[in-house]
Structure 1
């Protein structure tokens, strides 16, 4: 094994969250502070919880005082803290703690997801407004807009279910929201809350109707087979053998 490979294995590896790498600037961390974090993280991964500021300064090309100032700023931004641990029979030991940084990252992700959902809901609302106006061939009144908003916000109907109710109304050439509301209430009573459930129920109903047609005809033929065989002849004529 050559010297490089030996040094590579001996130095170990530093693990890094890709999520943090992508969003550290949104958390208020500068490039310099992130580089300092990486240096501290590399020592933590090797079991050194509190590397000296002189060591970090040499690694990143800053002075010891600059490292101290950056660490102080990171503490002020609640990106890190320094914990002091007192073990029985041992001297107190300091360690860099970045749990606050990951708490901020978790809050950022949650907020981003909430904003995405809010944006999607707004887009879905606008889309369903436009689709109903297009199918009805007229602008919706403020009362109608309020009714649709109630379907979304209070009744919590899925947009896909509202679209299916709209399709049902258009097929029956009934262009008003009260008809759609009755359709939605009927599905709700049947516990059909997703487009897939509504579609499945519709397919099952059509299947029953299709299969009921021939069966109904067969039942009619069976009834006729049980009727008595009455000969047909005119009054005054003798029945033929």
Structure 2
């Protein structure tokens, strides 16, 4: 193994969360602050919890005073803090703690997910508004728009369920939301909360109806077979012996 490969292996590696790499600027972190964080983390990964500012300054090409100012700014932004650890029988030691940075990252991700859900709900709302107006052949009134919003926000009906209720209303040529609301309530009472459950219940009902029809037909055939034989002849003629 050559000297470079040996040096590369001995120097170790510094791992960085991809999520942080993608969003550090959105957390209020500058490029210089992120570079300083990487330098500190590289030392932390090697077991050095509090590298000297002179060492960091040399690595990133800044003065010692500039590094001190950057660290002070990061503390003010609540991106990091300096902890003092006192071990029994040992001198107190300082260490850089980036827990606040990761707490910010967690809050950012949570907020982003909530905004994504809100955006999706708004898109679904607009889509279902347009679909109902298209099927009804007229604009929806403010009261009707509010009723649909309650289905989504208060009753938490899935968009797919509302679409199925709309389909039922159109098939029965009943173009009003009250009819759709009764359909949705009936499904809710049966604990049918997804389009798949509604479809399964519909197929099950059709199978039962088909089985009932077959049984009725079979019963009718049996009754006909059990009827007594009635000879057919014209009035005035003698019945023929069979």
Q: TM-score range by the shorter chain?
A: over 0.9
Per-residue deviation, residues 140-192 of structure 1 (Å, max 9, x unmatched) = 11111121112112211111100110011111111111111111111011110
1:3 — aligned with what? 3
In the alignment, the residues of structure 1 paired with residue 136 and residue 195 of structure 2 have an alpha-carbon distance, to the nearest angstrom, of 21
- Aligned match of 1:16: 16
Partner of 1:167: 167
- Superposition pairs for residues 183-202 of structure 1, below 5 Å? 183-202=183-202
Over the aligned positions, Cα root-mean-square deviation in angstroms equals: 1.3
Unaligned runs of 5+ in 1: none
Q: For 1:106 and 1:178, how far apart are their aligned partners in 2?
A: 43
Deviation (angstroms), 1:238: 2.8
Tell me which residue corresponds to 2:140: 140
Distance 1:150 1:78 in 2: 40
Residues in 1 aligned to 2:86 and 2:211: alpha-carbon distance in whole angstroms: 79
Matched with 1:127 is 127
Cα deviations by residue, 1:68-118 (Å, 9 ceiling, x for unpaired): 000000000000000000001000000000000000000000000111111
Q: Which has the higher mean CA deviation after the structures are superposed, 205-214 or 145-154?
A: 205-214
Trace 1:14-53 onto structure 2 (pairs within 5 A): 14-53=14-53
Higher mean displacement: 81-90 or 136-145: 136-145
Residues in 1 aligned to 2:193 and 2:97: alpha-carbon distance in whole angstroms: 47
Normalising by structure 2, we get a TM-score of 0.95
- 1:1-241 pair list within 5 angstroms: 1-236=1-236, 237-241=238-242
C-alpha separation in 2, matches of 1:201 and 1:238: 58
- Give the distance between the partners of 1:148 and 1:174, measured in 2 at CA: 17
SS at match of 1:83: strand
Q: What TM-score do you get using the length of structure 1 for normalisation?
A: 0.96
CA distance in 2, matches of 1:219, 1:56: 93
**Secondary structure of the structure 1 residue equivalent to 2:82:** strand
Residue 216 of structure 1 and its aligned partner are, at CA, apart by: 2.8
- For residues 40 and 223 of structure 2, the distance between their equivalents in structure 1, rounded to whole angstroms, comes to 90
How much does 1:235 deviate? 4.8
The separation in 2 between residues aligned to 1:102 and 1:142, in whole angstroms, is 45
Indicate conservation of the 8 Å contact 2:231/2:239, yes or no: no
Query: 2:39 & 2:60 partners in 1: Cα distance?
Result: 8
Q: Secondary structure at the match of 1:25?
A: helix
